Amino acid sequence: MATILVIDDEDSILNVVEAYLKSDGNTVHLARDGVQGLAAFRRYQPELVILDIMLPEMDGLEVLRQIRRESDVYVMMLTAKSEEFDRVMGLTVGADDYLTKPFSPRELAARVKAILRRGRNTTQNEQQILTFKHLKIDMQRHEVQRDGELIELTALEFKLLSTLATYARMVLTRQQLLERVWGYDFYGEERVVDVHIGHVRQKIEADPSDPQFIVTVRGVGYKFADEPL
| pLDDT tens column, 52-111 | 998 999 999 999 999 988 888 889 988 876 566 666 777 777 787 888 888 888 888 888
In degrees, rounded to 5, the angle at the alpha carbon of residue 62 between the alpha carbons of residues 61 and 66 is 120
Every domain of the chain and the residues it spans: 3-118, 129-224
3-state secondary structure of 189: coil
pLDDT tens for residues 126-166? 448 899 999 999 988 889 999 999 999 988 899 899 999 98
Q: What letter would DSSP give residue 132?
A: B
Whether residue 36 is predicted with pLDDT greater than 90 in this model: the reply is yes
The residues, ordered by sequence, that sit 6+ positions from 98 with a Cβ below 8 Å of its Cβ are 76, 77, 78, 79, 87, 90, 91, 188
pLDDT for position 126: 44
pTM tops 0.85: no
Rounded average pLDDT over 210-224: 93
Res 121: pLDDT: 45
Query: Which tens digit of pLDDT belongs to each residue from 176-209?
Result: 898 888 875 566 677 889 999 999 999 999 999 9
Helix (H) or strand (E) holding 173: strand 171-173
Fold of 129-224: Arc Repressor Mutant, subunit A (1.10.10)
pLDDT on residue 83: 60
CATH 3.40.50.2300 is the classification of domain 3-118: yes
Average pLDDT, the chain: 86
